[in-house]
Amino acid sequence: MTANPFLDIHPEVAAALAAKRPVVALESTIIAHGMPYPNNVATALQVEAEVRAHGAVPATIAIVQGRLKVGLSPDEIEQLGRGGRDVVKVSRRDMAFIVAAGQTGATTVASTMLIAAMAGIRVFATGGIGGVHRGAAQSFDISADLLELAQTPVAVVCAGIKSILDLGLTLEYLETHGVPVVGYQTNNLPAFYTRESGFKVDYRLDTPDAIAGAMQAQWAMGLQGGMVVSNPIPEAYAMPRATIDAAIEQALQEARAQGVAGKQSTPFLLARVSEITGGNSLASNIQLVLNNARLAAGIAVAYQQRVA
């Protein structure tokens, strides 16, 4: 693989990759835009610790002063957390401009996948993926996460599609682009804060090794793209579906009234849902991310054992 002149891989991550040890990529938009300070920094460090505790090396990804960073220092995580929404939210479209300007940016699912693939990392843990927004028939608002999943070979472990989105249309889009949606120990698609959405997954797989086997087969055949591994939020932290649906509906109405659109939609909606639910959704959000980190580490370990 040709060295990328803009890519900086943290020494711990570089050593793990060189030794063919398991590595899990982690995104940084969840730090800057997904949670308030200081919960965001505490959660980011806790997620890294969870990955380590389950046998893999964490690689939190961001752009720092124009450099693509694979693995951040605690100080860099603190900087992103304190910066919050003043930190640029960077998807694939934005990367060249933020790098060229020497700026700092928090990477979305799409850009984190892309940078992870540049470094040779195949497993990525996040909260929930983006998707087709409600009302997309008029707005055409579709997350770049979906197109990245169609072309970049990274398995994304998540608690399903963010429940503020149109789950049915998102599944249709993923099917059209050949992206498999796997349910970990479930036949039902989880919906971020809740364990069930009313939709089915494409395949149920019950062990990290079974998921690693599907990843290996997909990429060994030369098939492009990634894989969605949907991991239900632990039952103890799941929220009642009616509560979440009502909060989302209220947040959507407020977003429309305030003219919130584009890449500002998701952070606005998540923040308002957290406020409307009295912070319960934030607690659930933290637990589902930790749960995804544990599973991602297990998959990374199993995948590395297969390909080493």
Distance CA 239, CA 280 (A): 8
Residue 149 has pLDDT above 90, yes or no: yes
Which two three-digit tokens encode residue 233? Answer: 């939020």
As a whole number, mean pLDDT of residues 210-228 equals 98
Question: If DSSP codes are grouped into helix, strand and coil, which group holds residue 209?
Answer: helix
Q: Which of 76, 78, 89, 162 is catalytic?
A: 162
The kind and range of the H/E element at 213 are: helix 208-220
Query: 12, 27, 48, 89: which is the annotated catalytic residue?
Result: 27
CB 106 within 8 A of CB 88: yes
Task: Count H helices and E strands in the chain, helices first.
Answer: 13, 11
Strands 181-184 and 155-158, bridge-based pairing: unpaired
Model pLDDT, residue 86: 95
Q: Which positions ≥6 away from 121 have C-beta within 8 Å? A: 17, 23, 24, 25, 59, 70, 154
> What's the whole-number mean pLDDT along residues 50-72?
98
Q: Is 27 a catalytic residue?
A: yes
Give the pLDDT confidence score for residue 1 in this predicted structure: 46
Q: Do 150 and 177 meet the contact criterion of CB atoms below 8 Å apart?
A: yes
What CA–CA distance (Å, rounded) separates 41 from 82? 8
Q: How far apart are CA 71 and CA 62, in angstroms?
A: 8
245-268 pLDDT, tens digit each? 899 899 989 998 999 887 678 778
Query: Whats the size of the chain, residue-wise?
Result: 308
Q: Give the HSE-up count for residue 210: Cα atoms under 13 Å, Cβ half-sphere.
A: 10
Output the pLDDT for position 262.
74
C-alpha to C-alpha distance for 180 and 229, rounded to whole angstroms: 8
**For residue 36, cis peptide bond before it (omega within 30 degrees of 0):** no
CB atoms within 10 A of CB 167: 21
Report the alpha-carbon distance of residue 114 to residue 131 in Å, rounded.
Answer: 17
**Residue 283 pLDDT level (bands cut at 50, 70, 90):** confident
Q: What is the pLDDT of residue 163?
A: 79
- 34: which 2 tokens? 């997904």
pTM: 0.93
Superfamily of domain 7-307: Indigoidine synthase domain (3.40.1790.10)
Please say whether the beta carbons of 269 and 193 come within 8 A: no
Residue spans of the domains in the chain: they are 7-307
User: pLDDT tens digits for 15-40?
Assistant: 999 999 999 999 999 999 888 899 99
DSSP summary character for residue 5: T
